[in-house]
Structure 1
Amino acid sequence: MDEKDSDQLQFRGQDVTECKSFIAALLKFAFTQGKQRDDQWMADSAAARMADDALVWWNKLGEDVQGSWKLLSQAMLSEYRPMFYGGTGEEAEKFICAVRDKAIDEGKDEDNKWIVKYASSCLAGEAVRWFVYLDSNTKNNWEKLQQALLTQYPRGGTAAGLALNLVPSAPAAASFVPAPKVTRRGRIKISNSSSSATHYVSKNLVSGNRVGSTSSIADALELEWSISSEGLQTLSIPGSQIPGYDLLGIKWKYDDTSQKDSYLAFCVVDSQTNAASISLHSGDLFTNSWKLSADDGRSGGGILTVSVLAGKESDNLEFWGENLKECEQFISAVNKQARAQGKFRDDQWIADLAGASMAGDALIWWSSLDGETQESWKLLRRAMLSRYRLHFTGKSAAEAEDFVHWVRQRALDAGKLNDPHWTAELASGCFIGSALRWYTALDPGIRGDWDSLQQAVFLRYSEGSEEDSSPSFVPTPAPAAAAPNLSKSRTRGRVRVRRENDPEAYYLSRVLPTASPDPGLVVVTPRVAEALEVEYESLPHYGTPEVQGQTPRVVRVAPPPNAEAPTSHS
């Protein structure tokens, strides 16, 4: 971004998408001016570009926040936070992951009060209507609130009629369940810093079957994309707007020896034959190469930022902060370029190169780091690998094995392999999609203990297992009644046994010993996989006083003096 482009940069305070785009653009501009570490210069530059509602909001800030970019950018991201309006199950999963990542970034991942306060402040529209009908116990407990969200917004459809016992199914809330959303439709608007006229990508091909532009919105090409897809996407052309073509693509050619022979061009593509409209042009054809920013979640609202990522030459590094794989590839590319420039041992030079290559959410994350980390490649690289964890989706047994190996290796590197609580906390931030739904349904004792959790992962995701099947050892909450009543429901669980002064958790075993002297005696086991499952009847909670006489979930055993530790029989 040059000076002329920066003069047109404004922040009007519309939503979180505009906020993130503004912060990223301002940081890029600061890099071009060599001012990325001048806190006051960046704050003044941002203030000069505030407009409309954002300017009113800025005027209410204290002088210390107005004069510091670090404080101002934090205030902006706090004011314009990601909102969840309800919708599909995939959107609910992404919202939970966003809250979880925010808590990790703020060092609040174990602060339940902070997390539920932040999460509830991000609810709007239909989602906030649903939220107000929850009981206070669910509202104030992040574990239960996650389960409630995933139950209300299941995958593949609208909210189910049955909910967890801890979520009352208020009749008034049922009418606010939205229809599932699959795709969105829009046009690509072309901006030009030298002209105020609005142009769009046209549906009428020009000479040579090339894609052109138009100032008429009636002639603008309409495109569709999936709102649930992550990473790079495909832009479809619906309704035979351009006969014979149903995708928007690009032709990309890069020549290291001759810049004049390098180009990138729009084209339309037939998905059946993979034939492009500009077939005579050489170069690589890409269709799944579009990056769309997430909008604010409201139908018909928000602005999508469209980027095309065709290929990367060695001198054009970018890191968007998508996932661990992109992070590792970026680190490798930075090291390679530093080695080629003879700067492999220049810690600050490499850190500056990496900082200048940040984009999107990764750039915003970089700006929140302290100066020492920003200026040291060793510290920055360590922070990146800590921030971007492996994502576990639960698609196969092989993925489960890779996930467990990665967690164990990361714990080993940190000297925490013998700390099951620390390792379980590390793993907790890796579950996404259907695996996240499975994880939130686990018993807290399993989630908080790495030995039990990895056993559960391997049992759930074994060879030949179905992705949507339920593991036998996961407690199955009974469906909630439509309104509070005293009818009994059956719940499944295990009996956990604790011994005083022994941190190990044991369970009643389903395996009975056959050898003398105690054949048939019920014993205990530390292995969740061998735990006996029991069913019991209980009265559901609806914010009423505690119900007496429920079967306890945990049995605490105080052994006599000099008693031996419980043993496991297999």
Structure 2
Amino acid sequence: MQDSEEPLFFRGNGATECEDFVNTVNRYAWKSGKAEDPKWAAHFAMSCLSGKALRWSMQQDKNTRSDWDLLSVALLLEYTEDLEDKESELRSPAIPTAAAAPATELVRGISTLSSGPLSGRIRLDTDFASPVYVSWNAGSAGILTICSNPDDAIKVHWTPGSSRHLIRVLNPSVTKYDYLGVTHFSDDPRYSLFGPNSTASAALTFVTKPNAQGYVTSMRRNKKTGEPVSGKSRAAIWNILADSTIVMIVEDSGSQYAMTPLVGGENNSIYMVANCESYMAAFNLTATTCSRRTLVFEPV
């Protein structure tokens, strides 16, 4: 906890924020009598991660996530420069330029998001001067895109909880596909294999409510044939953090992986990818053709 007793979050915005975060965790561990307990400090630090930092942490091995001596070094090695300018280079020219958001809008108490079912929209990033939303328009391929008009955004409904959960869509383009999910293009390892340097990806789309076995079907179609794609669809994959960031977590072969949103293509389609750098390199993408984003729940 910070000296001001406000909630502590580390979003992964650069070296300065990282150094302050590591120092704050060290001070809080000392004040709590846990300075010699690296496991306790690591668990506390992990509970404070959000945004880019949370997604990065989920790619680390269990030993690193459970040992503050290892985790603090890994954090400092990962965040070696302030990323504000670097991030701006990755923004798509089709999307408005970002402006700094007030810190008070980025930090919300967990109690704010745990009082019962909530409805709202999904915004991309938290700091656009002109808001951009996930649109209800999935196109002929069934891939969700972006929009600037909030009236064209999907309206979602969810119940806060500590485990991964469903997000229901109140205005789907096709009635039976009324949940937010993702679909891999195929079972080809390029699209579905997780692990180091993974190029796994899945399109953000509408899916059906899971059946008794947890299976769903989706609107995702092959652009060339119009037929359903053969890849796996997922629905109960969402976590909404205390700062309203929406995180997609996939469990595969006993491990959990956080997926990062990318926006790209002629229609500004939204994909979730396991590793941005590996994915962009494998499919010859650049910062001018796609850009990283963060999904944010916006109550209405």
TM-score by length of 2: 0.42
- Determine which structure has greater relative contact order: mean sequence separation of CA pairs < 8 Å that are 6+ residues apart, divided by chain length: 2
Larger Rg: 1
Considering fraction of residues, name the structure with more helix.
1
Considering fraction of residues, name the structure with more strand.
2
